[in-house]
Amino acid sequence: MKLAVLAFGGNAFTGENGYDSYEDQLQRTKNMCKEMVKLVKLNYKIIVTHGNGPQIGNLLIQQESASEIVPPMPIDVCGAMTQGQIGYMIVQTLRSYLIKNNIERPIASIVTQVVVDEKDDAFKNPTKFIGPYFNKKTADLLAFERKWKMRKDSNRGYRRIVPSPKPVDIIEKKEIAEMLKRNFIVVACGGGGIPVIRKKNGELRGVGAVIDKDLVSEKLATLTKAKTLIIVSPVEQVALNFGTSKQKNITKMTVKEAKGYLEEGHFPPGSMGPKIQAAIKFLEEGGERVLITSAKSTVKALKNKGGTEIVH
């Protein structure tokens, strides 16, 4: 069976403003799981990863707003909590669709820790967007009252930013590999994984950050020797000059072309940039193909009928 890593963004579970209720998020999960079943029918082994930017930001707001009543949890713990939340939605929903299609496959979500370097420059320069969007006035007020670091996210408003260090290693990689041997559909590295520092004596300690899910997905795909990395995006295809009159969608490009477009500034750090960086690294580490497309076009992209394919 072919092994593919399927990476969903946290925004795939919420609306544009990031305020969706649990019921709304569950409905979006159902739509994604319908596509996953199609991959299973195509005889793929699947590892599902996902982001948690909107969810962890919302949870932190809830934690901080009630801090005078109950002690708030730190960012790494909130990462674990949202990893469990989204993993629960995926596993429960996907299991139901497998039953409806008379498919017997074990499935499980594993709480995953990801090692980062405590000296990573990201801790001094936060870039990762989390939580909902705010207007400029509210963003300035939150920055003053709560000491949040805020930054404009495209043209939709301002969001909180936190450190996003690069993934170094995945603690549960052996457990994930064992589950794959037993033909499990595995949900892992949710929200980019829980960021931890490994001490000299081997002990682990959580740190306040949110790792980019695309970079973690690449790391996981490489460690498990997957041949295909599928990065699910809000758009069906990668584009040059996105959002302008000169926009040009890309059906296929090489690693060399992707590097060139990245250097030219076509893929911003807060949106398509990490996806392209992950694609390049995965292919340079031995992967065969990367597909970037929307959730509904995943299977079409696998059949070269949609999305953007990146190859050697």
Where in the sequence numbering do the catalytic residues fall?
10-11, 128, 213, 275
- For 305, other C-beta atoms within 10 Å of its C-beta total 9
Dihedral sign for Cα atoms in the order 66, 67, 68, 71 = positive
Using alpha carbons, select from 131, 100, 130 the residue that is nearest to residue 33: 100
Q: How many CB atoms lie within 10 A of CB 136?
A: 11
Paired tokens of 75: 């960012």
Q: What does the alpha-carbon distance between residue 254 and residue 311 come to, in Å, rounded to a whole number?
A: 5
Provide CB contacts within 8 A for 25, sequence distance 6+.
Answer: 13, 14, 89
Q: What DSSP string describes 77-124?
A: HHHHHHHHHHHHHHHHHHHHHHHHTT----EEE---EEE--TT-GGGT
Neighbour count for residue 173 (Cβ, 10 Å): 17
Measure the CA–CA gap between 151 and 134, rounded to whole angstroms.
10
Rg (Cα) of the chain, in Å, rounded? 19
